Structure 1
């Protein structure tokens, strides 16, 4: 684990007080079981649980940033390299927030109440909650938890809460009604934008979801397949070292381990080692696998990837190792290649937008003009032909970090990989990068939709 990352967590934990820890736990209830949260008495233990659940990690700090933003600890948010304004921009993106609107509502209500309001609520709940849960020192967040346990309030049923605050604070009842109206509107939008698909084998090949959205690749095995990461960091020429690429590797490993892939990372490969490693995986028996995923992080030239010895290998040669002819056990199964590298030396011209990327950025050099004319292959490129792409020393590459965050958000909604990559294209293209822009690219011969199942 990165020592700088642990140092930051330690410093944040030292700055939090008891009431703030309770707030963080409450806001995390949609992601961490209540039983586990109740056992936590100090911030360090809370952060350990978030790491166990892959909610935070090196290069994966969005959830922590959102939590600190929600409890208004902007000073701690700043220590993570973010700001109030940046979080407000991020959270305006539909589906970006990890803390549910429901939990945000309850937290804001608790923050709005005076001690007299809380006392009045406790008085009105005497016949519904045990006396030991309504003691003088019980906070409003604790009361909300008990009301949820008793199913007095639910995300989709706040009638009792509205009646309660009609008596105590009518202005809060109006806020609840506004939340209900917005929730109904947002739910309709999300259903149109991200229809949750039903697997054909679950509903039949002619089922409604399959018929409307096309067939879906089967994802039945555990593990689903290999996630191979070729990560070149330290080059023989030290001036070519790629600071920030370790964060990319960590982010990918977290996401694909969560998605039940056998994730393997190889560091600092020379040209021959890149070729040999790719061929080795193409010769493996994938009959009990559903898919193959390969990430390549390096420098290079147009159509080529560089080894740490500054020798190049053609991208097309690597991809061709996994065609149906060369890798029969993956025939008819999806093969995914995600490449963080430039496709030339030209910067993308920028239009005037608000900057939202800070810190030193570097460019990588490399990849691809075409793919073999074979089915079931998808290639995600960090940038279009002839242009550079950017990588931060501190947080990793713009493209890979965006992809990992989008997968965490959208895989649970049943969104297919091509749609996720399109969202990444949109997000990366909207960033201002040292006066330039970056436009990723998707090249696909997939015949079906590739949906990664999230383990329950």
Structure 2
């Protein structure tokens, strides 16, 4: 990373006060996990995390510009980033250019418009739904909004309680929420082709043609989520730092989605096969689905155990065909594999590297999938290319997948579309001057929509 870029981040961070850092963290919630943000006490740490998530970097400054614009630090925008209020307003008019969501903009605007007296009224009315300890006098409105989100009192698509609270003393802000919801309905209607789930799930409400059948997801648990996570290899030079964070992210998401989630660490080649075979022989009659994540090194068509012994990926997947696993016949089987598929780099076009040297690569597995129905494989990258893993925060692909599932599963977006969105997000990122392009291979016959517990 260039010295000039680091100096820029230092000077900007030194000019920010505590309340402004809180606002920047709030705006970053769609890209960085809440737990990570809660631990940040200094703007420099936030910028470090945003670099690791490939949100800012040398030649990739728009998100930083937008953050400063949103918190009204036009002085920093002008002095350090060579931009202006007018230029940002023009740029943000371009469809899809804004990276801070309309939802976060709305909540931040409401927090700014509320007087101290208004904030106390909101806190009083939230006693009961929220713990009193979360409503202390020094808690800012953004902190209150965050607690409301954690407790699912408000969501991007459900602001009813907030409207009810504001109606009594700030009807003008209630109207702002109404306007936001109106725009969101209009936008969602325009995007039905991109996410056809909305018309297939609620045909009675929308009077639209159903695009496809949906796999049944009615049991609890819905199925097993098997994670094979190779971290410490017998050859210590091959250790995969950052993979523990991937395992934690997957466990968090699939426990939330009501899967029986099991993680096996540091398996030798034969043990990988034996473990997968063990799960193929289980009775899945009261299950809806099977999900398997594999994080390791490998070679062409194979996954490596920690002893460098290889397992053929098709042999693993084929354990779940209708013949070999009849209790999962007609049910979806999902395999997500984090590993490279070769040694080539995708060149980065027009954007310089914004990595801070914390990225590693994994080795090469297969993309082949047995020609059988109801199987989906998500690969971290296309054939012959590298994929990337941060030693500190985990792999670019798996972290993006988990964040997208948390964002889109509540909107009843099907898995194939979620993975397509992950492809788009990962393809946008810059890793040490190179790119990564994930791949989806699917023989699913229906839409796979994960039910979110109410």
TM-score (norm 1): 0.69
Secondary structure of 2:327's partner?
Answer: helix
Give the match for residue 43 of structure 2.
74
Query: Is 1:103–2:107 an aligned residue pair?
Result: yes
Distance in 2, matches of 1:311 and 1:90, equals: 48
- 1:251-400 → structure 2 map (5 Å cutoff): 251-353=249-351, 355-400=353-398
434 and 180 in structure 1: CA distance in 2 versus 1, 3 angstrom threshold: same
Distance in 2, matches of 1:237 and 1:140, equals: 50
Give the match for residue 440 of structure 2.
442
Secondary structure of 1:317's partner?
Answer: helix
332 and 140 in structure 1: CA distance in 2 versus 1, 3 angstrom threshold: closer
Distance in 1, matches of 2:389 and 2:66, equals: 19
Deviation at 1:436, TM superposition (A): 1.1
Where does the alignment leave 5 or more consecutive residues of structure 1 unmatched?
A: 1-15, 29-54, 130-136, 166-172
Q: For residues 380-424 of structure 1, give each alpha carbon's deviation from its aligned partner in whole angstroms, at most 9, with x where no partner exists.
A: 000000111111100110100000000000000000000000000
Q: State the structure with bigger RCO (CA 8 A, min sep 6), 1 or 2.
A: 2
281 and 141 in structure 1: CA distance in 2 versus 1, 3 angstrom threshold: closer
Secondary structure of 1:409's partner?
Answer: helix
1:65 and 1:77 in contact (8 A); partners too: no
Distance in 2, matches of 1:89 and 1:248, equals: 30
Deviation at 1:103, TM superposition (A): 2.5
After TM superposition, which residue ranges in structure 1, 4 or more long, deviate above 6 angstroms? 19-24, 65-69, 89-96, 137-140, 155-160
155 and 380 in structure 1: CA distance in 2 versus 1, 3 angstrom threshold: farther
Give the match for residue 13 of structure 2.
none
2:226 and 2:262 in contact (8 A); partners too: yes
2:66 and 2:98 in contact (8 A); partners too: no
TM-score (norm 2): 0.70
Give the match for residue 82 of structure 2.
none
RMSD: 4.3
Distance in 2, matches of 1:267 and 1:450, equals: 28
273 and 98 in structure 1: CA distance in 2 versus 1, 3 angstrom threshold: farther
Give the match for residue 421 of structure 1.
419
Deviation at 1:429, TM superposition (A): 0.7
Deviation at 1:186, TM superposition (A): 3.5
Deviation at 1:223, TM superposition (A): 0.3
Higher Cα Rg, which structure: 1
Distance in 2, matches of 1:94 and 1:451, equals: 28
1:302 and 1:386 in contact (8 A); partners too: no
1:297 and 1:340 in contact (8 A); partners too: yes
Secondary structure of 2:232's partner?
Answer: coil
Give the match for residue 89 of structure 2.
none
Give the match for residue 63 of structure 1.
34
- 1:108-187 → structure 2 map (5 Å cutoff): 108-110=112-114, 141=141, 154=163, 161=170, 181=179, 183-187=181-185
299 and 185 in structure 1: CA distance in 2 versus 1, 3 angstrom threshold: same
Give the match for residue 84 of structure 2.
none
